Amino acid sequence: MAQIDEVKEILNNLRIWLSLTIGMIVVLVSGLIKRYDENKIDWIFYSGFGLFFSLLFIVLFIIIKLSKKTKEIKDL
C-alpha cells in the first residue's frame, strides 16, 4: 500500500471516531438536560459532566490529529 493510501485510511478512521464522539456528546447532553429538568441532580449527573468534558478533550485531540494528517497528505 502506498504511503498516501495509508494516510487517507488514517484520516477516514479519525473522521469516523470524530463522528462517533460527537454523537456520544449529543446523547450525553440530552440525558443531562433530562435529569436536570426532572430535578435529579445526583452523582450520576455530575459524573455525566465529567464524561462530557472528557469527550470534549477527545474531540480536540482528534481534530488536532486530523489537521496534522491533512497537512501530511499535502506534503506527499
Concatenated DSSP letters for 14-49?
HHHHHHHHHHHHHHHHHHHHHHHHTT--SHHHHHHH
Domain count, the chain: 1
The model's confidence at residue 13, banded by pLDDT at 50, 70 and 90, is very high
Please determine, for residue 1, whether its predicted confidence score (pLDDT) is greater than 70. Answer: no
Q: State which residues form the domain around 24.
A: 3-75
Q: Model's pTM, two decimal places?
A: 0.86
Q: 7-45 burial string, b = 16+ CB within 10 Å, else e? A: beeebeebeebbeebeeebeeeeeebeeeeeeeeeeeee
Please determine, for residue 23, whether its predicted confidence score (pLDDT) is greater than 90. Answer: yes
The model's confidence at residue 24, banded by pLDDT at 50, 70 and 90, is very high
User: For residue 41, what are the contacts with CB-CB under 8 A and spacing of at least 6?
Assistant: 35
* Cell, residue 7: 494516510
45-72 tens-digit pLDDT: 999 999 999 999 999 999 999 999 988 8
Please determine, for residue 14, whether its predicted confidence score (pLDDT) is greater than 70. Answer: yes
* The pLDDT of residue 74: 78
